[in-house]
Amino acid sequence: MKIRIDDLRGAPIAALLKLHLEAMHQHSPPESVHALDLDALRRPGITFWTAWEGSELMGCGALKQLTTTHAELKSMRTVANQGRKGVARALLRHIEVAARDRGIRQLSLETGPHAPFAAALKLYQSEGFVVCGPFADYVLDPCSLFMTKHLCAPEVAPLRHNAAFLQDT
């Protein structure tokens, strides 16, 4: 699987995002759908990734910068026939690394609290996300569940003193 930044111009990604938006509208009332369309995902401050196996699209996910240290996970979706292959987990971990590299210290998301979102909730919980209150411009909504994860700084090798150097000084 290869994960890459995507310009959102290909037909496969347009089709996947169309299905994603349709599913969100199927499972939530219009005022509770916060999924972004193609144009919104192209706005500054949003980076969009796709996962591929050869020429076959496997899934997608995006990172929306909220502040210099806080970002939102958006548009996580796996292609239907690619389920149970670790696509969503790989995308999530890839996006987390990119977020840390950008200085993001908190990654948040909004999803549905009911059955159609159960697999997503299980994934987010297994990756360390915890339930939180609304963030950014969100408000309390019975059709929304908010989660967040505090990210550590990129790992830096611990400073080690060179015993020989210390003895020579």
Each residue of 7-49: pLDDT tens digit?
A: 999 999 999 999 999 999 999 999 999 999 999 999 999 999 9
The CATH architecture to which 2-154 belongs is 3-Layer(aba) Sandwich (3.40)
Residue 160: the pLDDT is 44
101: pLDDT strictly greater than 60: yes
Residue 146: the pLDDT is 97
Q: Quick one: CA torsion of 33, 4, 16, 97, rounded to 10 degrees?
A: -30
Residue 166: the pLDDT is 40
Give the CA distances from residue 29 to residues 32, 39, 78, 143, 155, in Å, rounded to whole numbers and listed in that order.
5, 21, 22, 8, 42
Q: Which pTM value belongs to this model? A: 0.87
